[in-house]
Amino acid sequence: MVLRAGGTGPSPEEGAFDAAEEREAEALLSGTGSGGDGGIAIPWPVLFHRRMHRRVADSDRYRWWVLWTVLAGLLSVNITFTVFVVALPQVARQLHTSVSTLTWTSTGPLLAFGVAAPILGKLGDLRGYKRLYLLGLSGAAVSVVLTASAPTAGVLIAARFFDGVQGAATGAASMALVLQEFSHEDRVKAMGWWALVGAGGPVLGVTIGAPIIQYWGWRALFWGELPLMALAALLAVVVLPNRDRGRPEEGPGSVPTVGVSHWRQLDWLGSATLSGSVTAALLALNLAPSWGFGSPAIVGLFALSLVAVVAFVRHERRAPRPLIPLHYFRKRNFVFPLAARAWVNFSYMGGFFLFPVLMERVYGYSETSAGLLSTARPLTFSLSAPIAGYAAVKVGERWSVVAGAGALLVSMLVFTQLGAEPSVVLIVVALALSGLANGVSTPSTASSASNEVEPDELGVMSAAQLLITQIGVVAGIQVMVTVQAAGHGGTGSLASYHRAYAVGALAALAAVVCGFFVRDTPRETRGRAVEPHPTH
């Protein structure tokens, strides 16, 4: 396999073989082929798919076709993420259970993702990202059917747990597919569009899904997802590359993989210890607000997470084919972008979760009004991300991360100073700054960390990035909620929210500090020759 900047593809010899193979197939279809008396030897759908794929792959903008295809799949699976939370009271009534029980429909996928992400990401590196992506979309369709037809709360929660597993597959594979098509210099642009759909999909879901739930019920919401997934799968089959980047040639000190099955190449013990650590930490963070951070069970879960991390590190040091090579954690542009991303999501999501409660309990806003104001944050996030991706090419990733985290710091500080009768304009500005912060910083943190990774490890590293983000999200929500609830006066005390947002400000400050340690991606001067995209 020959690797080229901005894309991947087969060598000229492989391309010639594919062309000859296609000509032979066409001859067989016409009855003039070499097989016996002629006739059809290759099914026409296979030939049609091959010809359509080659037409797309020959385009100079093939990498963008891959990006749009992957984003269509991402939109099809995340569009119901936020709006389903709105439907929980209705779901609880129909399934004769409580809303507190149904919170596992949100917590469960996070835990399942933590368990499945490392091993599925590595499997994508070994078996191919397209295959893993299509497997994830198929799993998403099964999860949607189980969710829409769930007769009991138990079946519904199990379906959402399974949704977390497919989320690990589609998330890791789709990001890896995009990253392998874009050069190091342009990955930040692609990640900007990625963030647009990641943040904008749930907003679109609330806009479209709320009326569907109101007039046709929550089950109709999920049945409506199936056509979107089918379209995304069809695009993936036609557009996505049939080959991933090959593994680099094995050096003198490497462990040979020839003749070793993909399943034996997987680092099962490394995956188990990493998944156990993440799952224990996420479970502890989810249960801590109700059980107390000092309770024996929560302390035990955090201790278990720490022990699992130590076991993971010890194992990876001597593993012949480690899940995540530890030398990445000695790279400045791998560690600090991921740390900045975790701290930004800590502050962003903690503030996002507290905001509607603050507006309803302290300032007397209705649920509808508070929800409408809340959309200023993800809307600004999604709209600013693509612009920020292109801007980072000009100003560099370091200042993009610093500027984004700085905007988040200002937003948190504004919320710590809100008075008894704050201006709505001030609140909207603070929300917009928070959304702008994530939109500006996310493309740069994602691309900077990815640029430090070998091409054949993009899958597991994409999963690691998503895991870091989830840990930041869960920690931010639970810690800031706990700080607020511990304040004098309960949910109606303005001072308790000030303290919680002060914690968010400290997290944003930590992200600013991490941003200063991020190095810009080296870029060649303008006018450089662009190598044509290879045929897939």
Say how far apart CA 86 and CA 75 lie, in whole Å. Answer: 19
Beta strands in 137-275 (DSSP E): none
pLDDT of 120 above 70? yes
Q: Is residue 63 part of a domain?
A: yes
Say how far apart CA 236 and CA 131 lie, in whole Å. Answer: 10
pLDDT for 414-456, tens place per residue?
999 998 888 899 999 999 999 999 999 999 999 999 999 888 8
529: left (phi over 0), alpha (psi -120 to 50) or beta: beta
pLDDT (average), residues 457-475:
86
Nearest to 77 by CA among 140, 121, 134: 140
Say how far apart CA 163 and CA 148 lie, in whole Å. Answer: 13
Nearest to 222 by CA among 74, 77, 71: 77
Same domain? 485 vs 505? yes
pLDDT band at 46; cut points 50, 70, 90: low
Same domain? 304 vs 403? no
Please identify, among 319, 346, 380, the residue that sits at the C-terminal boundary of a domain.
319
Same domain? 315 vs 335? no
Same domain? 213 vs 110? yes
Same domain? 186 vs 314? no
Same domain? 376 vs 491? yes
pLDDT (average), residues 242-251:
49
Q: Is residue 4 part of a domain?
A: no
Q: Tell me, what's the pLDDT at 70?
A: 92
Same domain? 178 vs 274? no
pLDDT for 151-183, tens place per residue?
998 999 999 889 888 888 888 888 899 999 898
Helix axes 494-516, 424-450, angle to 10 degrees: 30
Q: Is residue 371 part of a domain?
A: yes
Q: Is residue 30 part of a domain?
A: no
| Whole-number percent of the chain with pLDDT over 70 | 81
Q: Is residue 157 part of a domain?
A: yes
Residue 384 identity (one-letter amino acid): S
Q: What is the model's pTM?
A: 0.79
- Based on its alpha-carbon atoms, the radius of gyration of the chain, rounded to whole angstroms, reads 24
Average pLDDT across the chain, whole number:
81
pLDDT for 320-364, tens place per residue?
888 888 888 889 999 999 999 999 999 998 898 888 888 888 888
Tokens of 42: 């290759």
Please identify, among 302, 319, 336, the residue that sits at the C-terminal boundary of a domain.
319
Q: What is the DSSP letter of 534?
A: P
Same domain? 337 vs 221? no
* Residue 366: strand, helix, or coil: coil
Q: What is the DSSP letter of 444?
A: H
Q: Which residue has the tokens 């009991």?
A: 152
* Cα angle 403-406-407, degrees, rounded to a multiple of 5: 90
Say how far apart CA 401 and CA 278 lie, in whole Å. Answer: 25
- Higher-confidence position of 34 and 331: 331
pLDDT of 106 above 80? no
Q: Is residue 7 part of a domain?
A: no
Q: Where are the alpha helices (DSSP H) in 1-103?
A: 12-30, 44-57, 62-78, 83-86, 88-94, 99-102
CATH number at residue 464: 1.20.1250.20
490: left (phi over 0), alpha (psi -120 to 50) or beta: left
Q: Tell me, what's the pLDDT at 319?
A: 85
Q: Is residue 529 part of a domain?
A: no
Same domain? 288 vs 328? no
Nearest to 534 by CA among 243, 121, 178: 243
Same domain? 158 vs 193? yes
pLDDT for 294-318, tens place per residue?
899 999 999 999 999 999 999 988 8
Q: Which residues pair with 224 in a beta bridge?
A: none
pLDDT for 248-285, tens place per residue?
444 334 444 444 456 667 788 888 898 888 888 888 88
Same domain? 412 vs 437? yes
Total domains present in the chain: 3
Tokens of 169: 């597959």
How remote is the C-alpha of 469 from its chain's centroid? 8
Say how far apart CA 172 and CA 163 lie, in whole Å. Answer: 14
Q: Is residue 23 part of a domain?
A: no
Same domain? 360 vs 503? yes
Q: Domain range for residue 185?
A: 43-245
Q: Tell me, what's the pLDDT at 30?
A: 45
pLDDT of 370 above 90? no
